Structure 1
Amino acid sequence: MAAQRTGLKRQLSLFSLIAIAAGSVLGGWLAEAPYWFELTGAGAAFIFPILAVILIPIGLAFSELASMLPFTSSLDVWASSAMNSTTGWATQWLFFLVQVVEPPLVAFIFVTAADFFVDVPEAAKPLIAIAIMVIWFFFSNVKIELTGLLAIALFILMVGITLGDSIYYFASGHWDFANISQEGGFFPHGIFGAVAAASALVLKFIGFGMTPTMIQETTFPAKKMVTVILAALFIPAVVYFLATFAISGLAPHHVIAQLSTPEPELVKSLGMPAVVGLLAIFSGLLYAFTTLMGFWTSSARVLYGASQLRQLPPWFLRTNKHGQPYIANIVVLAFGIFFAAFTSTNWVQYTYSLSVVAAGAVYFLGCLSAYLLRTKRPEWDRPYRSPAGKPVFVIGMVVSAAITIVGVTLLPANAWPPIIAFLLIGALVPLGMRYYRSHVDPTYTPIVLSPEDVDITKE
């Protein structure tokens, strides 16, 4: 069935989407690094490239699906086509959870950076994080092209600073391999710590999964989405490896785990030039800002896409003169405030666990959709076709299931109330839509998009 013409604007180049995706994957590590070292020590440096390889099957599944069904609704339309609309909505709602918890997470990065200079009261931290999200809300309603150009500039700048700082640490005379070898080695907590870290650090790569939500705003062919997805896996893997290894040699892992902002604090304690620490903070804030941009944009598109399939009211399809779904942006802000209000002092573990559990389920359903559609719709054109096909998708499902199972074991107690509340809201939405159809618009029945609808969603 034909879809409603989109109000989104095609303004994102291949490089700009790579910058958004890779920049979003890299965001937040200024204040998250202590959690990495607490879980597994210096071995975190190796876990990042290993994860990038492990996630390839999931990335290939997403790439094939995005080329075949290039809609903002992405996972929703994939699961709806492979299974049914109910499963599609459930997948989309979980995907929305993965996306929408990121803006409050990175907003707290700004709070942590401020805490390095002044003592910020605990009660004020959620309020500051909410204020930062409110500020970005106004910027979220300008041209997506500006977001893309800003992402490119910030990506080049922040990666350049990180590489420069890392090289300086190695050459500073303060880097000592003994801080690793004599403190339990690369994996001081053994295989359990490595597995726990691998499951938690999957969160750092979820930016690759958000890219299909912007496919109706791209200026390049859908078959090139595989380039964006693989770049979002391997560019951050290399940067994370270098940066984590560079920090690891500056102090023992248990010392780093106790620091709020390891880089600037280590720079200060070791007597390095203050400008090095300031650059680390500056680049960390740029990473956080890029992540905020990327996941906010994706969260709004998830709602827009669900409305495309008539699983949400048509209001979410409304766009302003710049092609921005402004009502969806309002809802993203509301959920950002909701999750920020639930966040406590262990906000890093809280958000990591929350996201990882949902991400694993979303990845599983995405790979399952790719597997089922190979059988159910073999005649559909696949501009990009994943090599090895179904066996790759099965591997992706196994990896996804493992991510979710381990992620559940890491959930802190304060993560359960918002998860339960979020799932209840998701279950109530279809009931609300039944009321909408019976009292407002009986013709507003759910639709499932197919490759035949692609031209209709083009500008």
Structure 2
Amino acid sequence: MTETRIEASSPQAGGLKRTFGMREAVTITAGSVIGVGLFTTGSNVVGTLGPAVILATLLALAVSIYPALLYAEMGAALPYAGGTYQFASLGLGRAAGMLAGWNFIISLVAVTGGEALAFSYYFRTLFLAFGYDLPISDVVLASIVTAGFIVANVFGVKLTGKLQNGFMFFFWGVAFIWFLTMIPNVHLPSFVRAPEFLHATTPLGFFSATCMIWWCFAGFEACVAMGEEIKYPHINVPRAMFLAPFVVFAVNALFQWYLVGITPPDQIASLADAEAPFAQAMKAAGILGFPLALLAAGIAFGGDFSTLNASISTPPRYLFTMARDGSMPKVFAITSKKYQTPYVAVIVLGVLSVALIATNSLEYIASLSLFADLFYYVLGIIAALALRKKHPELKRSYKAPWIKVGAPVSAVIYVLMMTQLDANAFITGVLWCVLGIAIYLVCRWKYGKAGEFTLDLAASGADDVPPPEEKRAMDREYLIWKVIVSASCVIAVVLYIFPFFVK
């Protein structure tokens, strides 16, 4: 494989091509989110809250919307690979940027590990639906599928984008069919009569459950990490950020509604500890054979594959950018001349994902990812405010409203959410930060400021303007997305209210 080393500071020096449009920006973002959280730990919350899960999901959406607006502003004005790393570096200083990027990396590496394990659970269920138990462990199966996606991501962004679109539309197609087939199995009184265990839920318990639901939203800004590969970023990045949290909400709320509805009332509490909650619910309800296989196939090859693809492709762009700037070892800035991908970073982070898979603990992986998510979001939110002051010259095609209030409030909320994390994962997160700082200090000593990123607005692509015909096509596509996503969100909420009007 022919390679080239990155020494220059231009944001386009790495040879990354602007290949993705708004559709890919949305599917990569949604694909980074819709998967392991929804179908494992996020669904476990149904076993804790029952039908009240919709309240936690709405709250998780509420605390995601404003940060998404901040990322819409920053991603459009600074469309570089690295996302939060670049924003925090320019707004708060290189050390803060390094910590933001470093935590983003471990967050999605953990998501990769968790997603691969989730895939193995539902892939196994696909065979169990027809009475066959696969003679292979979850860890081995998860490691094999991760290796496959590592190879796919080495071979280029075009392949990655096509795969992502395919996985997401396959998932939505299967989900639609499954929704229709499950309607006769939904028990509407389950939404009206709250389970007995719900009365024992404390406000702190509800807040903790909301934090786990929020993990299903973490990653709503994933496409900004690939800013150098998105066409017309000043248009497509904000649009993707406006849509992404609501896409995630609609999918989560709809699947949670069905999970509550099909689970026998006396079995709902058991979902709190289930490895594959949807599969367990269907088995408890006696829904086996083709419906169970359909669900397992949709989750495994749609939801899980879309997240694996996105979570393996996105973190290397951070590591690549950090290495290009001299904040990480330069070896991670090596790209393939033929495929124009940061293949060294892809492979190394893939190996780290396999190491997390070996723990075979979704709870630990989820908590570690949640710590990293909250940490880098806090830095990103504060960076948005700092960038307004330090770089007023940036051309902002979109500006988030009320930033002096919205940014501090959002940061405080996310800090409070960090208090609900598993102690072992919290300690691992702190140690990861210490390791990152140590590597950063060594690299700064070795490289100094040589090759450090410099703000180059002319080369950023922020001013690229589509031809009129292409712009009209982009506007039509965005309108279609808005209508579909809005309708889906309304339908999801109405479904939870509807049972109260049925006698």
Tell me the TM-score normalised to structure 1 length: 0.88
SS at match of 2:221: helix
The one of 450, 457, 460 equivalent to 1:451 is 457
2:355 is the alignment partner of 1:338: yes
Where does 1:24-423 land on structure 2 (aligned, <5 Å)? 24-28=32-36, 29-116=38-125, 117=128, 124-172=137-185, 175-178=187-190, 181-184=193-196, 189-250=201-262, 251-252=264-265, 253-272=268-287, 274-285=289-300, 286-320=302-336, 321-341=338-358, 343-344=359-360, 347-406=361-420, 410-413=421-424, 415=425, 418-423=428-433
- Answer yes or no: is the 8 Å Cα contact 1:208–1:232 preserved in 2: yes
What SS class does the counterpart of residue 455 from structure 2 fall into? coil
Q: Distance in 2 between matches of 1:416 and 1:40?
A: 25
Give the distance between the partners of 1:163 and 1:358, measured in 2 at CA.
Answer: 33
The residue identity in structure 1 corresponding to 2:118 is I
- Tell me, in whole angstroms, the C-alpha distance in 2 between the residues paired with 1:258 and 1:431: 42
Q: Report the CA distance between 1:138 and its aligned residue.
A: 0.9
Cα distance between partner residues in 2 of 1:396 and 1:311 = 28
Shift in Å at residue 25 of structure 1? 1.6
Note closer, same or farther for the CA distance 1:226–1:167 as it changes in structure 2 (3 Å cut).
same
1:34–1:5 CA distance, 2 compared to 1 (3 A): closer
- The answer to whether the 8 A contact 1:82-1:373 is kept is yes
| Secondary structure class of the residue paired with 1:386 | coil
| Contact 1:180–1:186 under 8 Å retained in 2 | no
Contact in 2 for aligned 1:208/1:233 (Cα 8 Å): yes
| TM-score of the two chains, using structure 2 as the length reference | 0.81
* Alignment deviations for residues 50-77 of structure 1 (CA, whole Å, 9 cap, x no partner): 3222211111111111112111122122
User: 1:391: Cα distance to partner?
Assistant: 1.9
- Calculate the aligned-residue CA RMSD, in Å: 2.7
Give the CA deviation at 1:431: 3.4
The structural deviation recorded for 1:196 is 0.6
CA contact (8 A) 1:80 1:448 kept: no
Q: Which 5+ residue runs of structure 2 have no aligned equivalent?
A: 1-8, 465-503
The answer on whether the counterparts of 2:81 and 2:321 sit within 8 Å (CA) in structure 1 is yes
Percent of aligned pairs with the same residue? 21
Segments of 5+ residues of structure 1 without an aligned counterpart are: none
User: Secondary structure of 1:55's partner?
Assistant: helix
The 1:391–1:416 alpha-carbon spacing in structure 2 relative to 1, beyond 3 Å, is closer
With over 3 angstroms needed to count, the CA separation of the structure-2 counterparts of 1:436 and 1:279, relative to structure 1, is same
Aligned residues: 445
Give the Cα separation in 2 of the matches to 1:3 and 1:176: 54
Distance, in Å, in 2 between the alignment partners of 1:51 and 1:201 is 6
Question: Equivalent residues in 2 for 1:429-448 (5 A)?
Answer: 429-434=439-444, 436-437=446-447, 444=450, 446-448=452-454
Whole-Å separation in 2 of the counterparts to 1:230 and 1:119: 43
CA contact (8 A) 1:73 1:308 kept: no
Q: 1:39 to 1:268 in 2, by over 3 A?
A: closer
Distance 1:179 1:290 in 2: 31
CA distance in 2, matches of 1:156, 1:445: 41
Tell me how far 1:107 sits from its aligned partner: 0.6
Provide the residue aligned with 2:31 in structure 1: 23
Q: Is the partner of 1:222 in helix, strand or coil?
A: helix
Of 13-22 and 158-167, more deviation after overlay is shown by 158-167
3-state SS in 1 of match to 2:220: helix
- For 2:328 and 2:177, the matched residues in 1 are separated by 47
> Which amino acid in 2 is paired with 1:373?
L
Counterpart residue identity of residue 299, structure 2: G
Task: Rate the CA distance shift 1:249–1:449 in 2: closer, same or farther, 3 A.
Answer: same
Tell me if the contact between 2:89 and 2:97 (Cα under 8 Å) persists in the aligned partners: yes
1: CA distance, partners of 2:67 / 2:449: 36
Closer, same or farther in 2 for the Cα pair 1:149/1:421, shift >3 Å? same
* Mapped contact 2:230–2:236 kept (Cα < 8 A): no
Q: Is the 8 A contact 1:49 1:238 kept in 2?
A: no
Q: Does the CA contact (< 8 Å) of 1:67 and 1:222 recur in 2? A: yes
Q: In structure 1, what residue type is equivalent to 2:309?
A: M
Q: Which residue type is aligned with residue 376 of structure 1? A: K
Which range moved further: 94-103 or 289-298? 94-103
Partner letter of residue 14 of structure 1?
M
Q: Name whichever of 262-271 and 331-340 sits farther off.
A: 262-271
Pairwise CA distance, 1:445: 5.3
| Contact 1:43-1:194 within 8 A present in 2 as well | no
Query: Equivalents in 1 of 2:57, 2:83: separation in Å?
Result: 26
1:4 positional shift: 5.9
Provide Cα deviations, 1:143-182, integer angstroms capped at 9, x if missing partner.
Answer: 312222222222222123223323433323x524247615
CA contact (8 A) 1:24 1:287 kept: no
Once the 2 structures are TM-superposed, how far is the Cα of residue 114 of structure 1 from its aligned partner? 4.1
Asked if the contact 1:26/1:287 (under 8 Å) is kept, the reply is yes
Residues 374 and 160 of structure 1: CA distance in aligned 2, closer, same or farther (over 3 Å): same
